[in-house]
Amino acid sequence: MFFRYLPVFAALFAGSTFALPALAQGQNAPAPAPVQRAELWNTEQFVIRSNILGRDMLIQVVKPLAPPQGRVPAVYMVDGNLYTSFAINPMVGAFTGEYAPAYFIGVGYPEQSALQWERQRATDLLHQPNVDVAGPGYEYMEGVRSGGGALFQRFLTEELRPLVEARYAIDRERTVLAGISYGGLFTTRVMLDDPAAFSAYLIGSPSIDVEPGLVARARNVQLRRGTQVYVSAGGSEEAEHLANARALAAALRDNPSGATVTEWIVPDEGHVGFAPAFFGRALKTVLPPEARR
C-alpha cells in the first residue's frame, strides 16, 4: 500500500476549503485575491474524456523551455498528481545542457481529493483482479476493485499517446513510461505484456508482492535490444519493498535479450522520500545530455 498517512489527510481535508492566511488587521489591508488552481510553470494542462475508461483524466504536459529542434522524447508519468512537478528540474536541466530535452506527460485525476486519488489508482494501476487493497488500517479502501490495469494501459497507448503525438513534436521511437509503487508495478506489467510499447521503463519501488510471478517473467521477456530499464527503491524502505526492487533488477539482468538495466537503491530514503532522487537520476539516464539534437 502506498501512503499510510492518507487517512489523516483525508480526515483533515474532508468537507473543507482552502483559505489564504489571515492578513494583518487594518484599514489598508488589501483584499485577498480569489484562489485559483495553478498550473506548473511552462506546462499545458487539460482534462480529456476517455472513452475507454468512461471518465475524465487530468493531463499535464511539461514542455521544453526552448523550442525543440526536431522531435524529442516523451516521458509518461503515471500518478501525475504526485510526480509531474518532478519534471521541472529536468526541463530546466535540458535548457542548461544537463539533460536532453523532452516532453513530460503527467497522467492524473482532475478531482482534488487524496482519498479518491488512492481509491482510483488502486483500480487503474493493478492489472491483477481481486487484490485485497483494504487490509488493516486501510478500511477506507473497502469496495475498491483492482484489475483495471489493462484498460488504463489501453487508455495510455490508444487514446493519450496519439493525442499528444499529434499536438507536440514527439519522437514516437523514444518514449518512456515511469511509475512508483503501484505505478512501478503497472510500469513493470506494461513492460512484460508489451515490451515494445515504450523504449524505456523507469520503475520505482514496484509492488511486486501483488504479482510475485512477474519476477520469473522478467527473466524471459523478449525486450528489444537497446531498451533501457531503471529500477530503484529507498534504502530505508521496508524490507519487502527493497526485496521487490532487487529481485526485479536481478531478473532483468539475467535476461539475455540485451536490455540495459540500471539498479539504484537511494541511501537513507523511505518509500516516499526517494522519489525526487529517483526521477532526477533515472531521467538523466534516459535523457543524457549527449542525446541532445
pLDDT in tens, the chain (293 residues): 554 444 444 443 344 333 334 444 456 667 777 766 668 899 999 999 999 999 999 999 999 999 888 999 999 999 999 999 999 999 999 999 999 999 999 999 999 899 999 999 999 999 999 999 988 888 889 999 999 999 999 999 999 999 999 999 999 999 999 999 999 999 999 999 999 999 999 999 999 999 999 999 999 999 999 999 999 999 999 999 999 999 999 999 999 988 999 999 999 999 999 999 999 999 999 999 987 65
pLDDT of residue 35: 66
Widest distance between CA atoms in the chain: 74
- Which residue(s) pair with 233 in the sheet? 265
In the prediction, which pLDDT does 18 show? 37
pLDDT for 133 equals 92
Joined grid coordinates for residue 170 = 514527439
In this structure, what C-alpha cell is assigned to residue 55? 471518465
Burial letters for 95-118: b for 16+ Cβ neighbours within 10 Å, e otherwise?
eeeebbbbbbbbbbbeeeebbebb
pLDDT computed for residue 21 by the predictor: 43
Give the other-Cβ count within 10 Å of 48's Cβ: 15
Contact 120, 113 (CB under 8 A): no
Prediction pTM value: 0.88
Fold of the 40-291 domain: Rossmann fold (3.40.50)
Burial 124-137 (b: 16+ CB within 10 A, else e): bbbbeeebebbeee
pLDDT for the residue 160 = 98
> Per the structure block, which three cell numbers stand in for 226?
537497446
Position 293 scores a pLDDT of 59
- The residue among 234, 283, 228, 280 whose CA lies nearest residue 257 is 228
In this structure, what DSSP letter does residue 236 have? T
Question: How far is residue 248's CA from residue 226's CA, in Å, rounded to a whole number?
Answer: 18
pLDDT of the residue at 137: 84
